[in-house]
Structure 1
Amino acid sequence: MGGRSGFARWKGSLPFAGAWFRLPPPAPPADLIETEERNKDRVRLLRDRYGILFRELLQNESEPFRWAALFRSLRLMELSGEVLAGYFFEGIPGPQFISHAAFRVLQRKLPDEAVYWLAATDPASLSGVGIEPLKANLPKRIGGTHLVYRGKDLVMVSQRNGKSLTFHAPPDDPRLTEYLGVLRHLLMRAFQPVRRVTIETINGEDASRSPYIDGLRTAFEVIIEHRHVVLYRKGG
């Protein structure tokens, strides 16, 4: 009796009876197969964007798209034949994975004489990738910077939307006007073209004293303003 009365006293001392119920069990961890398929989809997205994947290329991606998160999936996709692994480009440490389409492009002769430009922030740009040889030759990955190539050779860098130009080709290069296409784009693009491009420096010197001015005059209306060179569209 003493035991029962003790329990009754304990029960009666509770502040209220309450409505008690069992909590649901915690959700189980995500299914491993589902997680792997999600990672493979991320690899496919990156593969279609870049063509080739390696550790340094993915260092600026968000966490789920970085090398550590996707390396296992890349190896599985290599085993299944969806991607190829190997040493395709010199100077890149560690494994490289490439799409079949990109590998076919590499097997063909690349167009040595094609002139093209791209923004430093473009996914195809290697600016900002943590590989030492590239750090020395490419500008920072920031807006307003553009790279001009002739084949695989970097021939011009435009920074701050044309305020600073660096040429890696001589002033009498017969294709100089083609290299200036990125500046024409700034003046003539359909969306928010600029009225003029003011060049402050060319190859680190005052633009007004540059031997490249004659080449600029073949493509633009050129006005010298003190130490700067101002470009306008030809014909207005």
Structure 2
Amino acid sequence: EAARKILALLESQGALFYGDLENANAGLPTQIEDGLWELVSLGIVSADSFQALRERMRPSSRRRRRRPGASRFRSRFGIAASRALLPSGRWTLLPASPWQEVKRDEIAEAWAGQLLERYGVVFRDVVQRERVGIPWRELLQAFRRMEARGTTRGGRFVTGYYGEQYAKPEAVDAIRRVRKQEPQGERVRVSAVDPLNLVGILTEGARIPSIHTNHVLFVDGQAELPSAAGRHADD
């Protein structure tokens, strides 16, 4: 809803700052931010600086304490200080391109294909940490079309989760092979910023922050419990 309002405002008024969108009642601050990034992910909108992107890439815990000056300003003036953390720069529509003419179902299938390439098996819980610019219901429709064409398989590949699951054919074959293997003690170390860091999402335990100094250690495909700092005891 916010994305549609923002798009209409940019089409009618041209380039706008975040404050202009807020004054035009495009939505609540978080809704405007999410709407802007949804339009960015679709290749429709851009900003005139990289500051908004830098702020978006920061972990949420750091975004709250980014500027010492901003925290003092917040304590004195309250809510108004939160503007320092909101998307900065002037936002504008990108020039018309063939990408904007692509049908939405094609965009959904592109996202679905990318997720399958990344994870092998995809269901709703898997994409929780992804900033997907397409609603899950549209991704489901895309997966169903891909299954009908024979490029994707639907089924129950991961136990303990409800809803539809889809996988690449080669991923299904790999799962079957792994099930027949005896434990080998194979250890695989994965950076916490890797999409494979699904600890706390698909496995038990607290989530490990996506920070480059953290990592996850898998032994025969099972994640070892991390220490409180997000690193493993064997470091």
Greater strand share, structure number? 1
Greater helix share, structure number? 2
TM-score, scaled relative to structure 1: 0.48
- Which one scores higher on RCO, CA 8 angstroms, separation ≥ 6? 2
TM-score, scaled relative to structure 2: 0.49
Which has the greater radius of gyration? 1
